[in-house]
Amino acid sequence: MTRDRSYFLLLNIGHFLDHLFTLVFATVAALALIRDWNMGYGALLAYATPGFFALGVFALPAGWLADKWSRDGMMAVFFIGIGASSVVTSFAQTPLQIGIGLFVIGMFAAIYHPVGLAIVTMRWRNTGMRIAANGVWGNLGVASAALITGYLIDHGGWRVAYILPGIFSIIVGFIYIALRWESIIADRTGPKAVQVTAPGHDTVDHRRLLVRVSAIVFLTTAVSSIIFQSTSFALPKIFDERLQGLVAQLSSWAEGVADPSQADVATTVGILAFTVFAVASMAQLIVGSMLDRYGPRTIFMLMASMQVVFFLLMPGLTDGLALAVALGFMFGAFGQIPINDYMIGKMASGPARARIYGVRYVISFSVLATTLPLIAFVHATWGFDTLFRILAGTALVILIAVAILPRRMPSLDVAPSAAE
């Protein structure tokens, strides 16, 4: 494997780990701590909220440091920092301690998106497919959080779900430093790039178009974050409630036990969640290939429409039908993820790209944090059926906003800055 391919692989592993670490607690809370600590699901979610605020708030300073110091250096800090904080979190004995641990994990997790995506969109051409491939790795991290954590709850306890990925991330961090050491030193001592603006771009009409598209990008970023957080964080709990019959049958069949209550239910819920996430993540590859050919507007409208339909179908469904419809709305939710990143990559100036992605993720992850209390309140008051109707309305807002996007994206950069 060439150094360039190894570089892209490590960036993809980083995206995988970023999403895995931020969602381990979703499965731990739903399937372990409600029993071990005798706490309600909604009460546990309150301790995860500061971590998601950290994920948003620290994205902008992470992007600023990457632009001013070293993007590769910040990625090394990400790998080692999030791994070490995960290991420390495994020793939590109280909800407050685990809340502090999740906050620190969120601080380091905030580094990846503004920094990693800035590297991906500047170093390689065929931006849509690169973002899509990188996004699939992130989605597999979302999926594996439920799968790995569910398995470890049944076979080692929830603390191991923080320890093993933490050690792995630290090891990857040192591999990353070895691979990119020369770049880190060069970034620290060498001159920074100067922004180049394409001729004829500094016009009133062009600037107005940039403002309009930017407003739509940041609006849809905020609104789509509600959907992504609600679905990815709550899916293990949704499956725990809605797929009880299917889970019991599959668990007892797989383990050869007559009594379903003796089967490893958490593992089965994790497998089903992983399957849905993994299959739905393929939407990003489809979307990525279409973005480079058709542009973002049509594809974005298709993904938003799909979400409206499947969220409206979900209330009242259980077992097999619920599983199928969940796959439908997750396909739409994951399919829309690379679109905003693609648009920012096309519009953002190179030297400030990490900071612009930082602003995007401050918005995104701040909304993610506020979504947790929403999930807890709606679930406790009305149940998940009401949440699905709210998400259908949210997807409709995206559809309306995207309808006024221009068919061609405005750009500040002359051309991609690196080779394949």
pLDDT at 237 (0 to 100): 86
Q: Helices 3-28 and 204-242, interaxial angle, to 10°?
A: 50
Query: Is there a domain that residue 239 lies in?
Result: yes
Q: What is the pTM of this model?
A: 0.71
**Pairwise CA distance, residues 330 & 279, whole Å:** 9
Identify the CATH number of the domain in which residue 211 sits.
1.20.1250.20
- 193 CB-near residues (< 8 Å, 6+ apart): 350, 351, 417
Average pLDDT over residues 392-397: 95
pLDDT at 294 (0 to 100): 82
pLDDT at 248 (0 to 100): 80
Query: Is there a domain that residue 107 lies in?
Result: yes
- pLDDT higher than threshold 90 for residue 398: yes
* Tokens (6 digits) for 96: 């407050």
Coil, helix or strand at residue 348: coil
Q: What DSSP designation does 195 have?
A: P
One-letter amino acid of 88: V
Cα 82 to Cα 25, 107, 240, 332, distances in angstroms: 14, 8, 29, 29
One-letter amino acid of 391: L
pLDDT at 250 (0 to 100): 82
Query: Is there a domain that residue 414 lies in?
Result: no
- pLDDT higher than threshold 60 for residue 199: no
Average pLDDT over residues 13-29: 90
User: How many residues are present in the chain?
Assistant: 420
* Structural domain span for residue 216: 3-184+207-402
Average pLDDT over residues 3-30: 90
Under the banding of pLDDT at 50, 70 and 90, the label for residue 163 is very high
Query: Is there a domain that residue 200 lies in?
Result: no
Query: Is there a domain that residue 416 lies in?
Result: no
Query: Is there a domain that residue 407 lies in?
Result: no
Query: Is there a domain that residue 178 lies in?
Result: yes
Average pLDDT over residues 310-329: 94
**Pairwise CA distance, residues 104 & 58, whole Å:** 11
Query: Is there a domain that residue 375 lies in?
Result: yes
How many other β-carbons are positioned within 10 Å of the β-carbon of residue 215? 12
End-to-end CA separation in angstroms for the chain: 15
**Pairwise CA distance, residues 416 & 42, whole Å:** 46
Number of structural domains (the chain) is: 1
